[in-house]
A and B are shown apart, each in its own frame.
Chain A
Amino acid sequence: MLRPSESPGLTAPRSSAGTAEPAGRPWPNGRGAWLGQIVYPVALVLSLLAAWEGVVRVFSLPRYILPAPSLVALTLWEKWPVFAAHTWVTVQEVAAGGALGIAVGLCLALAMFFFAPLEKAFYPLLITSQNVPVFAIAPLLVVWFGYGFLPKVLMAAIIVFFPITVATLDGLKRTDPDLVRLFRTMGASPAQILWKLRLPAAMPALFSGLKISAIYSTIGAVIGEWVGAGAGLGYLMLSANAQLRVAEVFGAILCLTPIGLTLLGAVVLAERVLLPWQRLAAREDEPLEPHP
């Protein structure tokens, strides 16, 4: 409603400004770079798999020590309903735990930001708590909450909330004080300063936290399942391992990794959509970060 309808001639005026780009490489992040990002890792993985297959066949290793990739693939193919069922259980745990962890992390960061005493009280505890191995907490959660869904969700949340809290708090604190003063001269209320300034300014930091959390989110759920569960990929790994069905262990790992990667992909995508200005900033010679 406020935006005039004509589309801006953005690219034209900018290129006419005559910034000299090296010939043949118009954009450092062009399609060539994209292709490389896919081709090289895929080539590496394929050659590793080939080597693995070769080693297993040449030395005829028994399948309960190291199954060949082809056997892992075959197992996945034959037992896919089992894998799918267990994957679904873990996905649910990760999703619920992730959502809880993000919510708690955000609230904690905001609370610590706005009440300095709370930060002073909580921060050392928060750091120390991360030194306690999650493996030590998992059995306690089983004691308190049983073998069901809840302890796994809590485990995932415990892993997820920490990077979110630390990153968001950091982002909130790094808001350029000059920008805060600008808002004050404009008569902005504290709520407006939060919504229009501090939170948007903290977004890049929040997304850094989210990326770390996305990668680690499955770990919490799997540990929760190891300690006591009747379903889920962690349970599957443990029981298959106990029966020396090593191909199934590898199958479970193969089912697990895409969960974290998908989450990471979702975070990266969300960042691109929600913070388009950030990628522009990254391309600039001078950083666009609110002036330090």
Chain B
Amino acid sequence: MKAVSRASALEVEGLHKSYSLRTGVLSVLEDVSFAVAPGEFVALLGPSGSGKSTLLNILAGLERPGRGTVRIGGSAAGLPLIAYMQQKDLLLPWRTLWDNVLLAPEIRSAAERERAAEKAREWLKAFHLFEFRHAYPAQLSGGMRQRAALIRTLLCEREILLLDEPFGAVDALTRRRLQRHLLRVWETLDKTVILVTHDVEEAILLATRIVLLSSRPGRIVESIDVLPPHSVRPQSAETFRLKSRILETLEQSDAAAL
């Protein structure tokens, strides 16, 4: 397991977030604190509506926390360190797949875009999208669009990846393959990853740590260190025990909230 010796890549302390609605105040996150070390792969698990996307929005600097502090790379201003893949694919409908995945380098400069082309080709091939590179998003399936959004996020070339259910719309087989690709990215490029998922098994297979969020208002119920990705055997009794323990914890927090 990677030691948490270096300074945190990302640190959240006493985070509260609520939305004021017409019907009253909706508390979404309550006293959330955690730290992520550089190179860690954290899976964020929690029931629907527990504020996972909200938390990522705050980390990405897109929303302000109501209370609490967010520190990224030791400083408060974290934007240039983070690449964020949101729950919707957010591809630009007027751009081909190729032009979509190269958006981030293109925004940096034309030269950067040129430089990133090789990598884009490599990723598109790995994700089985290369022959569709001239297609528009409307011509692609939901899963294909999601994969494209993931490639675009990778091509942002940021230290920290925030991924909000990146494999939500793909079948089990494709999901497996994409998970392996993501693992390879994480290992070879030494990124810090925070992955939101509903899939307990996915969390166990990929993450070095699983953070469990209660149902709304989201609080951190437990933070579980798991075996490094490649030593997890999906069918082992240990994995099975971990899985049922996580599900139990989530259920309990759900019952407590009601």
**Residues in A lying within 8 Å of B, measured CB to CB:** 1-4, 7-10, 13-14, 17, 176, 178-179, 181-188, 192, 196-197, 200-201, 203, 275-278, 280-281, 283-284, 288-291
Q: B133 touches which one: A4, A184, A188 (CB < 8 A)?
A: A4
What are the interface flags for B92-103 relative to A under an 8 Å C-beta threshold, 1 for contact and 0 otherwise? 111100100011
Selecting from B31-39, B82-90, B219-227, B250-258, the interface stretch reads B82-90
Given known A-B contacts A184-B62, A187-B80, A13 and B133 have beta carbons under 8 A apart: no
- Asked if B138 and A4 make an inter-chain contact with CB atoms under 8 angstroms apart, the answer reads no
- Asked if A277 and B94 make an inter-chain contact with CB atoms under 8 angstroms apart, the answer reads yes
Selecting from B106-114, B167-175, B206-214, the interface stretch reads B106-114
Q: How far is the CA of A183 from the CA of B60 in the complex (A)?
A: 12
Distance of B133 from chain A, by nearest CB (Å): 6
Check if B61 is an interface residue, CB within 8 A of chain A. yes
Check if B119 is an interface residue, CB within 8 A of chain A. no
Check if B127 is an interface residue, CB within 8 A of chain A. no
Residue of A nearest to B114 (CB): A2
Q: Please tell me the number of chain B residues within 8 Å of chain A, measured between CB atoms.
A: 37
Query: Which residues between 12 and 54 of chain B lie within 8 Å of chain A, taking CB atoms?
Result: none
Q: How far is the CA of A21 from the CA of B249 in the complex (A)?
A: 47
A-B contacts, 10 of them at CB < 8 A, read A4-B133, A10-B135, A184-B62, A184-B79, A185-B60, A186-B156, A187-B108, A276-B136, A277-B95, A281-B138
Residue of A nearest to B84 (CB): A185
Check if B131 is an interface residue, CB within 8 A of chain A. yes
Check if B245 is an interface residue, CB within 8 A of chain A. no
Q: How far is the CA of A9 from the CA of B104 in the complex (A)?
A: 26
Q: How far is the CA of A2 from the CA of B114 in the complex (A)?
A: 7
Q: How far is the CA of A13 from the CA of B98 in the complex (A)?
A: 17
- Asked if B92 and A179 make an inter-chain contact with CB atoms under 8 angstroms apart, the answer reads yes
- Asked if B93 and A13 make an inter-chain contact with CB atoms under 8 angstroms apart, the answer reads no
Given known A-B contacts A186-B107, A280-B139, A8 and B92 have beta carbons under 8 A apart: no
- Asked if A178 and B132 make an inter-chain contact with CB atoms under 8 angstroms apart, the answer reads no
Q: How far is the CA of A280 from the CA of B96 in the complex (A)?
A: 12
Q: How far is the CA of A289 from the CA of B93 in the complex (A)?
A: 8
Given known A-B contacts A277-B93, A277-B94, A9 and B131 have beta carbons under 8 A apart: yes
Distance of A196 from chain B, by nearest CB (Å): 7
CB neighbours of A280 from chain B (8 A): 136, 138-139
Check if B117 is an interface residue, CB within 8 A of chain A. yes
- Asked if B88 and A178 make an inter-chain contact with CB atoms under 8 angstroms apart, the answer reads yes
- Asked if A277 and B107 make an inter-chain contact with CB atoms under 8 angstroms apart, the answer reads no
- Asked if A2 and B90 make an inter-chain contact with CB atoms under 8 angstroms apart, the answer reads no
Check if B217 is an interface residue, CB within 8 A of chain A. no
- Asked if B137 and A288 make an inter-chain contact with CB atoms under 8 angstroms apart, the answer reads yes
- Asked if A10 and B139 make an inter-chain contact with CB atoms under 8 angstroms apart, the answer reads yes
CB neighbours of B94 from chain A (8 A): 200-201, 203, 275, 277-278
Check if B121 is an interface residue, CB within 8 A of chain A. yes
CB neighbours of A9 from chain B (8 A): 131
Q: How far is the CA of A284 from the CA of B134 in the complex (A)?
A: 18
Distance of A181 from chain B, by nearest CB (Å): 5
CB neighbours of B92 from chain A (8 A): 179, 197, 200
Distance of B140 from chain A, by nearest CB (Å): 9
- Asked if A8 and B107 make an inter-chain contact with CB atoms under 8 angstroms apart, the answer reads no
- Asked if A10 and B132 make an inter-chain contact with CB atoms under 8 angstroms apart, the answer reads yes
- Asked if A185 and B79 make an inter-chain contact with CB atoms under 8 angstroms apart, the answer reads yes
Q: How far is the CA of A211 from the CA of B62 in the complex (A)?
A: 37
CB neighbours of B139 from chain A (8 A): 10, 14, 280
Residue of A nearest to B156 (CB): A186
Residue of B nearest to A203 (CB): B94
- Asked if B90 and A185 make an inter-chain contact with CB atoms under 8 angstroms apart, the answer reads no
Distance of A9 from chain B, by nearest CB (Å): 5
- Asked if A288 and B138 make an inter-chain contact with CB atoms under 8 angstroms apart, the answer reads yes
Residue of A nearest to B88 (CB): A291
Can you add 15 more A-B contacts, CB < 8 Å, to A186-B156, A281-B138?
A1-B114, A3-B134, A8-B133, A178-B88, A184-B62, A185-B84, A186-B103, A186-B104, A200-B92, A203-B94, A277-B94, A277-B136, A281-B136, A291-B88, A291-B90
